[in-house]
Structure 1
Amino acid sequence: MNAKMKRRLIAVSGIIVIVLILVLAFVGGNSAARTMSVAEAAELADPGQKVQVSGNVVADSFSTSDNVLTFSIYDPEGDPSTHLAVRYGGAAASTFGNDVTAICTGKVGDDGVLEATELVTKCPSKYESATDALTVGQLLGYGESVHGKVVKVSGTVGAGTLGPAGQDVRFRLTDDESLSVTLPVSFDGALSDEVADGSAVVLTGALGADGTFAATDVALEG
């Protein structure tokens, strides 16, 4: 190979390398999500930009239709009146609920809604002593006399009964003394990611006339 051919080959190779670098930079720049606040995302001028936004779920703002979860988030350290609407086509985790921290990754559409392709929820662990808490059997034994009264009840989360917020029954509480005795529990708050099948929990709430325990707080027994 003569010197002229070598120079031409080197030049072509250099161009190929430059093109590859530009392509990789373009792909990397478009796949990386820019982290921003709720307020910044709500005023985003570039709807096609991939972003990651963290915020707390606005109470009772969520609903599910055709397996699509919609909700709003706010910045607990910013203006609580500034909300960002989020739409997510995946299944919500059992930790999802009111005021839980939601980390949403996706693109904000022309309608101002964040179309999330990734959703991660975080809820700090909460522990509660079971002292003075009733068992499921004891609670049900009181009958109508305890309906509507705020009490504490302890037990374990029934296997295969744990679901996301928004369902009529979030999970069933099993009596530790009699596994055949269970209690349907409604709860739209955030559950710790440590709450799972078989977890020992302590609930605060009231038993309704329909036999469902409306929990206002769910904590791990500790």
Structure 2
Amino acid sequence: MNTKTKRRMIAVTGVIVMVLIVVLAVVGGSSSATTVSVAEAATGDYAGQKIQVSGNVVDDSFETKDNVLTFAIYDPEGDGSQQVNVRYAGGVSATFGNGVTAICTGKLDENGVLNASELVTKCPSKYENASEALGVAQLLGYGEEVVGKPVKVTGFVEAGSLAAAGAGDERFVLVDPESGTTLPIAYEGALSDDIADEITLVVTGSIDEGGKFTATDVAIAE
């Protein structure tokens, strides 16, 4: 084996070793978090440690300021008064909202706040028959007759309109498949991962005098 070939082999070996180090660092970094309950995290015993904790988002506890999301979680099967405050600066899924299960990974500071580097949200899918729901154009056609009254409306999700709770006044826009009429929907609850662009939904809620529809429940049309 000549000197040139030896140098090439050494260089290749060095690259392989560096890649392995990076891979191990990434894998090790994501797997080194200690899984704890909300109650355990709330004790403060894990301050300064990387932990993973799962819980449901406390209703209306979230706020986005300077692209940083803050919220609180609780254990739905435990003591609801025990909560952990979470701070997350990453991208937030459209599924995020009141009551959604949030799996948070990060470091707990001395004040008991979990500074999350990873946030995964999960919400079970809901399905509902759309036969008794009004179309968007049909609902708007009733005018003042339906203002303030609980109704069900159906339509498909306008492409690109889905947003996380707290990101703005509109959670998504519902479109009438026949007329193309649109209806902005305000909703602070959790959305299923199965809800995406152009999925047909059945939305329960009420419309106000200004034409704003506030939903109390969102389901995928059967």
Q: Structure 1-normalised TM-score?
A: 0.85
Give 1 or 2 for the bigger CA radius of gyration.
1
Over residues 42-81 of structure 1, what are the superposed CA-to-partner deviations in whole Å (9 max), with x where a residue is unaligned? Answer: 1132411110000000000000000000000000111011
Name 1:4's counterpart in structure 2: none
Name 1:203's counterpart in structure 2: 203
Whole-angstrom distance in 1 between the partners of 2:54 and 2:152: 33
Unaligned ranges ≥5, structure 2: 1-23
Tell me which stretches of 4 or more aligned residues in structure 1 moved more than 3 Å.
Answer: 27-31
Q: RMSD value over aligned CA atoms?
A: 1.7
Q: Structure 1 62/30 Cα, relative in aligned 2: closer, same or farther at 3 Å?
A: closer
Identity of paired residues, percent?
63
Name 2:60's counterpart in structure 1: 60
Q: Structure 1 200/30 Cα, relative in aligned 2: closer, same or farther at 3 Å?
A: closer
Q: Tell me the number of residue pairs that the alignment of Structure 1 and Structure 2 aligns.
A: 197
Q: Is the 8 A contact 2:187 2:215 kept in 1?
A: yes
Match for 1:97: what amino acid? Answer: G
Over residues 145-186 of structure 1, what are the superposed CA-to-partner deviations in whole Å (9 max), with x where a residue is unaligned? Answer: 11100000000000111111012011110001112x100100
Name 1:172's counterpart in structure 2: 173
Name 1:183's counterpart in structure 2: 183
Q: How do residues 8-87 of structure 1 correspond to structure 2 at under 5 angstroms? A: 28=28, 32-87=32-87
Whole-angstrom distance in 2 between the partners of 1:177 and 1:30: 47
Whole-angstrom distance in 2 between the partners of 1:147 and 1:158: 23
Deviation of residue 217 (structure 1)? 0.3
Q: Structure 1 29/66 Cα, relative in aligned 2: closer, same or farther at 3 Å?
A: closer
Unaligned ranges ≥5, structure 1: 1-23
Deviation of residue 84 (structure 1)? 0.5
Deviation of residue 31 (structure 1)? 5.8
Q: Is the 8 A contact 1:31 1:50 kept in 2?
A: no
Q: Is the 8 A contact 1:30 1:50 kept in 2?
A: no
Whole-angstrom distance in 2 between the partners of 1:138 and 1:88: 41
